[in-house]
Amino acid sequence: MTGLGTMINILAVLVGATVGMLIGNRFSERTRETTTNGLGLITLVVGALNIGAIGDRAFADAVGADWTLIVVLGAVVLGGVLGSLVRVEDRLNNIGGRLQKKFSGEKGSDDRARFIEGYVSASLLFCVGPLTILGSLSDGLGTGIDQLVLKSSLDLFAAMAFAASLGLGVMFSALTVAFVQGVLTICGVVFGSFMPDSLIAAMTAAGGVLLLGIGIRLLQLKEVRVADMLPALAVAPLLTLVIDSFR
């Protein structure tokens, strides 16, 4: 059944967030902060591992071994420019704000900021990474949902930890997961079988950089506008195609 992997992923986020909210009230502020810091550190590790796709053989063959890093750099810079021009981060924050106003009984400014941070950070973490891309494409191609099942198990525990510290906003990140993975699954149905490994590697490496930004954000080292950089995931394969066509 096409889309089953995404449905499982959505359910995992909802269950994880629900459990996290139930147990989160039992934790002290110090414990919740420590949990968030732990997530930030793990996100940095995952991001660094994903950046390793710069060394992917298919990627290097397509653009040249000396150009893989330049492609990722160009994708992040150009993607950041495009994202900031259309204000992706602000739009995502506005969505979180509207959801908080409609569904949350908490009215304080701190509660609003916490809800939005939970929604935005969880949405970014759950939707940026190779398992999101590869798993959704595989689901659309009908070649299996194993990768999305693995992602779902990871997202389940991440949602628990996020919701324990950031609350209800994390649950609504399931909407973002549904949209992003739904679109990618449709892409898999339409033309996923024609997507070369080099393009997937380029997206994975660019996604790794974005994950580093999420980790830095979770550690509260700097408020990196990661959402503004999301177009990099589309720019990276486009740059790869352009460079490959001239070689």
Type of residue at 85: L
* pLDDT tens digits along 47-89: 898 899 999 999 999 999 999 999 999 999 999 999 999 999 8
Residue 27 has pLDDT above 80, yes or no: no
> In the prediction, which pLDDT does 107 show?
62
> In the prediction, which pLDDT does 51 show?
92
* Total domain count, the chain: 1
**Among 40-44, 106-110, 186-190, whose mean pLDDT is lowest?**
106-110
Type of residue at 173: S
* pLDDT tens digits along 116-129: 888 988 998 888 87
Q: CA of 123: how far to CAs of 26, 50, 98, 171, in Å?
A: 25, 18, 15, 9
* pLDDT tens digits along 183-235: 888 888 886 666 788 988 998 899 889 989 988 988 889 888 988 998 998 89
Which token pair is 96? 């979180």
Burial label, 89 (beta-carbon count in 10 A; 0-12, 13-18, 19+): buried
Q: Tell me the average pLDDT across 42-48.
A: 87
- Domain housing 42: 4-246
